[in-house]
Structure 1
Amino acid sequence: MSLAIRSTRARTRRSREDVVMRLLPRPLMVSIVVFLLLVVLIPILYIFMASINSDVSIVRGDFWPRDISFTNYVDIWSTVQLGKGLINSVLVAGSVAIVSAFLAVAMAYVLVRYQFFGRLTILRALLALQSIPGTLILLPVFVLFSSISTIIGVQIIGTRGALFVTYLTFALPFSTWVMVTYLRGLPRELEEAARIDGASSWTILTRIIVPLSWPGIVVSGIFAFLLGWNDVLFASVITNPSTRTVAVSLQIFGATAEGGAVPIYGQMMAASLVCAVPVVVLYLVFQRYLVGGLTAGGVK
């Protein structure tokens, strides 16, 4: 059986490659791929070369460093205070990714599998929330947190919890729509078979839907993580120096570094590469969930 499945997948892969080859000749396809790789890799190569170069050489316009030195990667931990920013970003963005992904599964399961009054209204509202620019609700969010702090007597602004709630507000609608689209493609026969065996809705959700939805969960979680990781607007207003995220730390460092006689471009480039490592590792770890589905062959 496994040999037949592998042969079927191989034939499908070859048929897809044949379709691509019919659409694009091989020389043209190779040229496009090489061009796209150069567009992506040349800036990354320049950033790396600048990170191991001296600031004077960078200002002079030298691409290749004359004296290779990795001191910039050592200095950023004291100059930028990168460690604290990385910890805050990982905690906030990681928690937002996990919570929004799994909440989105439950919400999407209810919206896809059950019919009730207001279902379409909820779906349209989730879609409408994606069109609201974040700059429009920055001040309302700040005033809301300030009012709640005054009422309950607990400081909210400047905490990771406030940043978590803010990012979750933006991430959850998008993650829910991703999971709605994914769950619509799951076969209902699996759930019907489980209900015949006496499984409850919670059992179906935890034992069938969640295991089969890992690709969608990973996609929604990664986008939610990137939302919290790359944000500067809300993090610069809601956080304080102790809860500042790495994106805000880089922005402040870049603004202050420009004021010197010779900007410390080397440390800026090194800090940028270090901050990009967690995202790259995240994609490398979960890439098999991003490119494949787990329901192939589940229903014959």
Structure 2
Amino acid sequence: MTASSTPSPLRSRRPSGRTATGEAHRLLPRPALVIVTVILCAMVLVPTLYIVLASLNSDVGVASGEFWPSSFSLDSYTQIWTTADLATGLVNSMIVCALVAIASALLGTMTAYVLVRYTFTGRLSILRGLVGLQSIPGTLMLLPVFVLFSSAGNYLGVTVVGTRWGLFLAYLTFALPFSTWVMVTYLRGLPRELEEAGRMDGASTVRILVRIIIPLSLPAIVVSGIFAFLLGWNDVLFASVLTRPETQTAAVALSTFSATQEGGAIPVYSQVMAAALVSAAPVVLLYLLFQRYLVGGLTAGGVK
């Protein structure tokens, strides 16, 4: 009795299945994929490395074109607090952007819940309007917003231009449509059975929203809040028009500091790099703290 030399069907199919799966998911050949990955990483890491090294170098060394500092020093990080007035800008940015993030996330969640769970006249028009508002460039809204805020101060006797809450209203105007649309997309995927179970237990609409909808929508709420925070943190155009030196944001302080040093005998490039890193640190910390929720909120609804 001889043993059969025919391979098992299961064993013969398994390698081919793995190969087919690998080829199906691989968009580029492995050498090209490695090259593209290295190029993309270098495009991000090389400028970041240069900023870090320049912030640790002296102003003369950076102006002379040194990539690697001849001597490392932290003097630029101590000087920017007096030369760039960065502390005031960071405090103003944190206050305004945090309030915008919280308000847009909460208001967007409540608005999206009404748009998704209730049917009324004009509902589709509101949803289409939210998409249309995202296509309007912010530069076109600068003059109308400034005139509107100035008119409010003249007719109502309330100072809007130059205050933190005026800047808060401007940022909320642009952040709220995006936050609402993010929450609409997320809430469409939540099962209605959870809300029906809550109503059977005697819960009101507000209690369902607070106890069921908001906890389940936390990843999307974090995503909308972070994007609203970044909208205000990175803005220079509206902040430079709607603020004064006491209420200017970090972005305005950084751009003003960079512009005032262009005509100097020795531009303080090292201090500019240090100020840029300090201004970017809160955003990086925000991503690290909410990374888990951010990834879950961005991928939610991608697979049904």
**Structure 2 CA distance, aligned partners of 1:144 and 1:204?**
38
Letter in 2 for 1:288: R
- Out of 188, 208, 213, the residue aligned to residue 209 of structure 1 is 213
Letter in 2 for 1:71: D
Query: Residues 246-265 of structure 1: matches in 2 within 5 Å?
Result: 246-265=250-269
Match status 1:47 vs 2:45:
no
Larger Rg: 2
CA 193–249 in structure 1, closer or farther in 2 if over 3 Å, else same = same
Give 2:238's aligned residue. Answer: 234
CA 183–232 in structure 1, closer or farther in 2 if over 3 Å, else same = same
> 1:292: how far off?
2.4
Give 2:7's aligned residue. Answer: none
**Structure 1 CA distance, aligned partners of 2:101 and 2:70?**
42
Deviations 1:24-44 (A, max 9, x none): 555544443333222211110
Letter in 2 for 1:271: A
Give 1:280's aligned residue. Answer: 284
Deviations 1:117-169 (A, max 9, x none): 00011111111111111121211111111111112223221100100000000
**Structure 2 CA distance, aligned partners of 1:228 and 1:55?**
30
- Out of 125, 130, 134, the residue aligned to residue 134 of structure 2 is 130
**Structure 1 CA distance, aligned partners of 2:252 and 2:127?**
33
Give 1:3's aligned residue. Answer: none
Q: Which runs of 5+ in 1 are unaligned?
A: 1-13
CA 193–93 in structure 1, closer or farther in 2 if over 3 Å, else same = same
**Structure 2 CA distance, aligned partners of 1:19 and 1:109?**
42
> 1:23: how far off?
4.3
Give 1:4's aligned residue. Answer: none
Letter in 1 for 2:236: V
Give 1:8's aligned residue. Answer: none
Taking only aligned residues, the RMSD between alpha carbons, in angstroms, comes to 2.0
Give 2:186's aligned residue. Answer: 182
**Structure 2 CA distance, aligned partners of 1:28 and 1:109?**
46
Match status 1:219 vs 2:223:
yes
Give 1:266's aligned residue. Answer: 270
3-state SS, counterpart of residue 292 of structure 1: helix
Give 2:95's aligned residue. Answer: 91
Number of aligned residue pairs: give it: 281
3-state SS, counterpart of residue 291 of structure 1: helix
Give 1:140's aligned residue. Answer: 144
> 1:254: how far off?
0.7
TM-score by length of structure 1 reads: 0.89
Give 1:115's aligned residue. Answer: 119
**Structure 2 CA distance, aligned partners of 1:195 and 1:27?**
57
Letter in 2 for 1:66: S
**Structure 1 CA distance, aligned partners of 2:221 and 2:242?**
28
Percentage of matched positions with identical amino acids:
66
> 1:58: how far off?
1.4
Q: Which runs of 5+ in 2 are unaligned?
A: 1-17
Give 1:165's aligned residue. Answer: 169
TM-score by length of structure 2 reads: 0.87
Letter in 2 for 1:63: F
